[in-house]
């Protein structure tokens, strides 16, 4: 099983500033990595797939980078609606597909 | 508009059974692979099961293998999860999620249905 480790667990950032979230895989997942945003009481929403491609309708302030085992989600100029929990997911190895434990992005 | 609507959750005793359904609309259901993903209260996301577009290929997480059965009815645009021998640790919100047609990420999710296993 590929273990996905996200850091930090909680990130405190002021509105308008940049947030950088990290995700590390226990073995290479190539670029088969997605990022999701989840707000309280809501389903996860796809932000990024293929490590760096924004999903339909996702604002340009969200960007993803990395390949292999190290990945980053960057949110430039945080908006109030961006404060949420973010999960990375690898889909390189399907048995099983695995998610990181999440990073909570909170208002500083 | 793509919509996935889960139903069938509720309170069940340990050892009991429950069948979840996911009604799909707004896309050609028979062309897409589907999944179940769960989230225990206050916890992260856990992939549970996958089914191919035709239903011929199925995968399960080890934690549910032998107890849960995924299935689909393409004529009814519906996905199912039969859950038997339920345990307290199966308590979670269960989401159905569509595998993207471009890649293998999950591009659409339902709102989820809560399953509580408790005596």
* pLDDT per position as a tens digit, A14-29: 999 999 999 999 999 9
| A46 contacts A36 by C-beta, under 8 angstroms | yes
pLDDT score, position A108: 87
Mean pLDDT of A44-67: 97
pLDDT score, position B115: 98
pLDDT score, position B62: 96
Mean pLDDT of A60-71: 98
| B17 contacts B83 by C-beta, under 8 angstroms | yes
Task: Collect all residues of chain A within an 8 Å Cβ-Cβ radius of residue B95.
Answer: 43-44
The Cα A13–Cα A55 span in angstroms is 24
pLDDT score, position A95: 86
Residue to substitute from B22, B46, B102, B104, interface A, most A β-carbons within 10 A? B104
Least Cα distance to B106 among A88, A4, A62 occurs for: A88
pLDDT score, position A30: 96
How does pLDDT run across A79-100, given as a tens digit for each residue? Answer: 999 999 999 999 999 889 999 9
Least Cα distance to A35 among A62, A9, A17, A11 occurs for: A62
Q: CB count, 10 Å around CB of B115? A: 21
The Cα A44–Cα B45 span in angstroms is 9
Cβ-defined contact of B47 to A95 (cutoff 8 Å): no
Within chain B, which residues score under 50 in pLDDT? none
In the structure encoding, which two tokens stand for residue A80, read together? 């109030």
Nearest chain B residue to A48 by CA distance is B105
Could you tell me how many CB contacts below 8 A there are between chain A and chain B? Answer: 59
Cβ-defined contact of B103 to A89 (cutoff 8 Å): no
| Residue A43 burial by Cβ neighbours in a 10 Å radius (0-12, 13-18, 19+) | buried
Cβ-defined contact of B103 to A42 (cutoff 8 Å): no
pLDDT score, position A80: 92
pLDDT score, position A94: 82
Least Cα distance to B60 among B74, B50, B46 occurs for: B50
């Amino acid at each position: 099983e590929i273990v996905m480790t996200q850091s930090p667990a909680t990130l405190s950032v002021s509105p308008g500033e940049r947030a950088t979230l990290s995700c590390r895989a226990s073995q290479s997942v190539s670029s088969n990595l997605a990022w999701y945003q989840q707000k309280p009481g809501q389903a996860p929403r796809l932000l990024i797939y293929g490590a760096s491609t924004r999903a339909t309708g996702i604002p340009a302030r969200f960007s993803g980078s990395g390949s292999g085992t190290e990945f980053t989600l960057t949110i430039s100029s945080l908006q109030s609606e961006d404060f949420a929990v973010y999960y990375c997911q690898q889909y390189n190895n399907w048995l099983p597909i695995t998610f990181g434990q999440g990073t909570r992005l909170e208002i500083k | 508009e793509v919509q996935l609507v889960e139903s069938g959750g509720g309170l069940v005793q340990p050892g009991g059974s429950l069948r979840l359904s996911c009604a799909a609309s707004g896309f050609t259901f028979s062309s897409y692979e589907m999944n179940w993903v769960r989230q225990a209260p206050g916890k992260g996301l856990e992939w549970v099961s996958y089914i191919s577009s035709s239903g011929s290929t199925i995968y399960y997480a080890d934690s549910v293998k032998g107890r849960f059965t995924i299935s689909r009815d393409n004529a009814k645009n519906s996905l199912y999860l039969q859950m038997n021998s339920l345990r307290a640790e199966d308590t979670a919100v269960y989401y159905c999620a569509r595998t993207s047609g471009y890649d293998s990420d999950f591009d659409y999710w339902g709102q989820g249905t809560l399953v509580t296993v408790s005596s």
